[in-house]
A and B are shown apart, each in its own frame.
Chain A
């Protein structure tokens, strides 16, 4: 089955992963800007990283027939240094016209600190100013519930924001409902130990339906499985779910979200499956 992984950090993955993803039907990936495992020392460090995810990774992906999209921001962990964060925010517009950029992300909270909240708000303002879609990281463990609610509180102060162009990512059972109820997209991340498992992601699809719901691997430099989306496909099939419903989750939904970015060009290998579905 053709599928999209809407959250994966390919800068941290080897080329063999691109090949494995292509073999399993991956037609596109989207790569949010994140914490690379170490704190960068200058805004120029981020400029180099933004070049990597707007120039280098798209080339690597294209070698395997995979479309590569990206999101730009300063992540919550490095946002603790507000001065550096503001320099990076000022640099982001230099890269917003790159053809593979979908929007601003993954912004959010990590430890739910005051500085993180300040930098989060300034990046939402940046996205609003430039009419960009937004991808939001929610915290990992004990801080997830509080951090997700704080993020939703802050977003509520932007009444003009189109909620259908914003993703609340890494939702679990205790955070999915407020995100969907407020009209946002919700992303389920399949991780080996934390976040969701494929079985629990299937449970959430059965309980909440497929509308505005995404599934991703968030594959990166830590324990993670780049093939997690195919694991979800297999788990859904084992429960007897229709191919059409599974395809909506792993292909149509992410592409529908991406298409809300004005620069979006469909993955060359498959074109626009949404159009085919609606006309047939």
Chain B
């Protein structure tokens, strides 16, 4: 049997996609109940963009990882400045 899409792998990925779908619905449902405006939340916009990148094709994991990353400025030592130091982060840590 091919390992590319074995039954076991199909079930594992199916489970991930179902969990992901339920998680997005859950956030929207709770946001509606609590009158929270999700579109004002950068984290929600990042998650929505991540799903779009997921649908886009090969190279998904790098595309999603880069989406969740602070920008890297190769000249950080020359240009200096506090904006290049310290991470704003996106998860409130």
Contacts and interface: CB of A to CB of B under 8 A. Distances in A.
Contacts of A203: 61
B56 interface: no
A172 B26 CA distance: 28
B90 A145 contact: no
Interface in B13-65: 61-62, 65
Contact of A146 (B3, B65, B69): B69
A240 interface: yes
Nearest to A173: B61
A142 B87 contact: yes
B5 interface: no
Contacts of B68: 141-142
Given A146-B72, A153-B76, A153-B77, A174 B62 contact: yes
Interface stretch (A16-24, A109-117, A215-223, A225-233): A109-117
B86 A150 contact: no
Interface residues of A, number: 24
Majority-rule SS of A interface residues: loop
Contacts of A149: 72, 74
Contacts of A143: 69-70, 87, 89
Contact of B65 (A111, A112, A145): A145
Interface string A110-150: 01111001000000000000000000000111111111011
A142 B64 CA distance: 11
A260 B10 CA distance: 43
Interface residues of B, number: 22
A153 B79 CA distance: 14
B23 to A, nearest CB: 13
Contacts of A142: 68-70, 87-91
Nearest to A144: B69
A145 B86 contact: no
Nearest to B80: A114
A114 to B, nearest CB: 5
A113 B72 contact: no
A239 interface: yes
A113 B85 contact: yes
A200 B61 CA distance: 10
A276 B89 CA distance: 47
B85 A239 contact: no
B3 A112 contact: no
B66 interface: yes
Interface string A75-100: 00000000000000000000000000
Given A146-B72, A173-B61, A174-B65, A141 B89 contact: yes
Contact of B69 (A114, A150, A174): A174
B19 to A, nearest CB: 14
Contact of A145 (B3, B69, B76, B89): B69
